[in-house]
Amino acid sequence: MSHQRIHKVPQPDHIWSYFRLETRPLVLVTVSGILYNVGMVAGPYFEGQLAQCLFDIMKGYKTVSAMVSLAALYLSVILFVQAMRALKRFGVRRFANDTSRNMRHMLYNSLVHMSREKLEKENLGSVMTKAVADVDTCVEGMRKFTTEVFDTGVVLVAYTVMLFSYDWRLALLSCAFTPFAYLIAGHLKGRVAQTNAAYKKSAGRLNGATMDRVSNAVTYRVYGCEQNRDAAYEVRLSDYEKRAVAANLWENTMQPLYNIISMCGAVLILYLGAQNVLGTGWKSWDIAAFTTFLSCFTKMALKSSHAAKLFNAVQKAQVSWARIKPLMKEYIGLDSISLPNVKPIELILSNVSVGWTDGETVLKDISFSAHPGQIIGVTGPVACGKSTLGKGFIGEVPYCGSIRVAGRELRELSHCERSQLISYMGHEPELISDTLAENIRLGEPGEIEPFLRAVCLDEEVRQMPQGADTPVGSGGVRLSGGQQARVALARTLYNSRSVLVLDDPFSALDQGTEQTILENLRVLAKDKIVILFSHRLYQFPTFDRVLFLYGGRSIFSTHEKLMQKNPDYAKLYLEQINGGGGHET
C-alpha cells in the first residue's frame, strides 16, 4: 500500500471507513464468495446422485461407466468451487493485511503526535497492548465477519433453499433447533465481552510490569530489590493467566454445545426422511433425495454453529475497538503542511507567559524578536524556568501571549508543521537504541561527517569499534554524558530548521570544546535563529542578545548592557568567570 493511501483514511474512528477503503479486494471477495458458497450445494447433490447411482448399479439398472461420468462431472464442479474459494481467501487476506496496516499507521501516527502530557496519562503497558493485541483482535473480527458473511450467510441461504425444495415441512422441523444456538450465543455475548475486557486490562498491566522490570533492572539490582519486583511481576502474571483462561473458556468451550444443538434435527431427518423413502411420509423420495437432504442439513448445521462462534469473535473485536477508537485520529503528515514561504524567517515573542496546566505560571510577559544569523543566549538562576520556556517552543508547555514564527502563531500549528520550523535539543538527550549514525540521521539519508566534526566528535567516533555504525545501547548507555550531548547536538544540526532551540547543550563539555563547537555553530547556522539556553555564561559576551530570566520576569538586551544595568546578571557572570559558579540541578 502506498504512503499516500494511508493519509486518506476517512474518519479513522469509524470502523466502516476501513471497509470502504478496501473496495477492490472486497469486490473480489463478494464475487468469488457468492460463486463458491452457492457452489457448495453441489456437494450434497452429487453425494445423493452417487449414492443412487451405486444403488442402481447394484440392482443392475446402470453400469460402472455411469458412475465414472458422474464422478468426473462432480470433480470438475468441485475444482471450480475450490478455485473460487482460493480467490475468496486471497481477497480476505489482502483485506485483513491492508486493514491491519492502515489501523497501525493511524494508531502510531496518533501516538507519536500526542502531547507528552496526554501520553504520560496512558499506561505504557496499556499502550503497547492497544498497539499490538487490540489491533490484531479488531482486524481478526473484521476478517471473520467478512469471511462468514459468505461462508455462513450465503451458504446457509443456499442450503436452506435446497432443503425446502425437497420437503418444506421436514426442513422447518429440522432447522428449528438452529435458532437456539444463536440465542445462547447472544445471551452469552455479555459474558464474553466482560471476560475479554478484563483480559485486555490484565495484559496491559503485565506488559507494563515487564517493561518496568527490564528498564529498571540495574536499579533494582543495585538496591537489592529484585525479589520484591519479581514477586510483584508474578502477581501480574498470575492474574493474566487467570483472565486469559476465563476469556478462552467462555469463547471456545461453548462451541461443542452449539454443534450439538444444531445437529439435533438430524434425528428427525433419519426418522421422517426414512418414511419419505418408504412412501409413507410427506414426500416420495428415492435414496438420492434422502442422502442429499441429510448431507445438506448436516453441513448447514455445522455452518450455523460457526455463526454462533462468529458472534463471540465480533464481540471481542468490539471490545478491542472501544479501547483503540479514542486514539484513531485524523492522519497528521508532511503532505498536510501549508507554511508560508517567508524569507527571512523572523521569531517574535509578545507578552508571553508560560506554565504547566496544573500549576502556577512560571514566566510572565516575555517579549523579544530574533532574526536569522543571531544567537540568543537565555540564562538565569537555578530553577528560573529556562527549560520550561524551551518546551514552550515545541508545544510541550502551554503559553499565553504570542509566539510567531514566519508570520504564523505557534499554538495554531500542528506538531508536524511546528517540526518543519523549529529544531529542539533538550537538556536530557533522548537517544534511540540504534547506531550512532542512525541517532543523527533519524532515517534521513545524508553525510554525517561534517556534523560530527562540528560537535568535535569525529575523532572519538573513528576510534569506536564500528565507527559511526557502533550501537549506542538503550538510551545511549554505551556513551559518556558528553558524547550523548554531542550526538544529540549533531542530530539537531543535521535536521536543523529555521529556528534552533538548544537547551543546555554544553553542560558536560569543557570550555575549550564549548568554544570550538560554538564557532562551528555560527558557520552552520548562519542563516538560522539560535535560541541557546545555558547556565554557563563564558560565551555569552559573544552572543547577539541575551534573555535574562529572574523571579518569573525577564529582560532582553546585550551582554554589555546587562552587565551595566542588571546587578543580578553581572553577579552571576562574574562568579563564573572568577571560578565560583555552580552547576544547575
With respect to residue 342, please indicate whether it lies within any of the assigned structural domains.
Answer: no
Vertex 349, ends 345 and 352: CA angle to 5°? 155
Q: Give the pLDDT score at 532.
A: 95
- 121 and 264 in a single domain? The answer is yes
Is residue 25 within 8 Å of 97, Cβ to Cβ?
no
Q: Is the pLDDT of residue 367 over 80?
A: yes
- 443 and 463 in a single domain? The answer is yes
Q: Give the pLDDT score at 119.
A: 62
- Give me the mean pLDDT over the 482-497 stretch: 90
Q: Give the pLDDT score at 1.
A: 37
Q: Give the pLDDT score at 359.
A: 65
Alpha carbon 238 to its chain centroid, in Å, reads 27
β-strand partners of 547: 378, 556
Q: Is the pLDDT of residue 584 over 70?
A: no
Q: Give the pLDDT score at 253.
A: 62
With respect to residue 508, please indicate whether it lies within any of the assigned structural domains.
Answer: no
What pLDDT, in 10s, does the model give residues 189-225?
A: 667 777 877 887 888 788 778 877 776 776 777 667 7
The single residue listed with the C-alpha cell 485520529 is: 329
Higher pLDDT, 61 or 334: 61
What pLDDT, in 10s, does the model give residues 75-111?
A: 998 899 889 989 998 998 999 888 888 888 888 777 7
Sheet holding 347-355, edge to edge: 361-370, 347-355, 399-405, 408-409
What pLDDT, in 10s, does the model give residues 320-345?
A: 888 788 877 776 655 444 555 545 68
- 173 and 103 in a single domain? The answer is yes
β-strand partners of 361: 355
- 27 and 122 in a single domain? The answer is yes
Q: Give the pLDDT score at 566.
A: 93
User: At 484, which CATH number?
Assistant: 3.40.50.300
What pLDDT, in 10s, does the model give residues 387-402?
A: 889 988 888 888 999 9
- 234 and 271 in a single domain? The answer is yes
CB atoms within 10 A of CB 527: 12
Number of structural domains the chain divides into: 3
Query: What DSSP assignment string belongs to 507-571?
Result: TTS-HHHHHHHHHHHHHHTTTSEEEEE-S--TTGGGSSEEEEEETTEEEEE-HHHHHHH-HHHHH
Among 146-160, 366-380, 425-439, 470-484, the minimum mean pLDDT is found in 146-160
Nearest Cα neighbor of 112 from 414, 445, 434 is 414
- 299 and 401 in a single domain? The answer is no
Boundary of a domain, candidates 435, 465, 496:
496
Q: Give the pLDDT score at 580.
A: 47
Boundary of a domain, candidates 283, 307, 334:
334
Q: What are phi and psi of 470, to 5 degrees?
A: -70, 130
- 248 and 145 in a single domain? The answer is yes
* 3-state SS assignment for residue 369: strand
- 408 and 272 in a single domain? The answer is no
> Does residue 44 have a cis peptide bond before it, meaning omega lies within 30 degrees of 0?
no
In b/e form, how buried is each residue of 2-38, taking b as 16+ CB within 10 angstroms? eeeebbebeebbebebbeebbeebbebbbebbbbbbb
- 74 and 222 in a single domain? The answer is yes
Contacts of 581 (CB under 8 A, 6+ apart): 535, 536, 537, 572, 575
Boundary of a domain, candidates 299, 334, 369:
334
Q: Give the pLDDT score at 349.
A: 93
- 464 and 545 in a single domain? The answer is no
Q: What are the angstrom distances between the C-alpha of 371 and each of 221, 242, 297?
A: 51, 62, 82
Among 230-234, 538-542, 549-553, the minimum mean pLDDT is found in 230-234
What pLDDT, in 10s, does the model give residues 251-264?
A: 666 666 667 777 78
Note down the domain range covering 19. 3-334
Cα Rg of the chain (Å, integer):
35
Work out the mean pLDDT of the chain and round it to a whole number.
82
Q: Give the pLDDT score at 581.
A: 43
With respect to residue 534, please indicate whether it lies within any of the assigned structural domains.
Answer: yes
What pLDDT, in 10s, does the model give residues 443-467?
A: 888 899 999 999 999 999 999 889 8
- 43 and 186 in a single domain? The answer is yes
With respect to residue 410, please indicate whether it lies within any of the assigned structural domains.
Answer: yes
- 190 and 292 in a single domain? The answer is yes
Residue 469: DSSP 8-state = G
What is the total residue count of the chain? 585
With respect to residue 137, please indicate whether it lies within any of the assigned structural domains.
Answer: yes
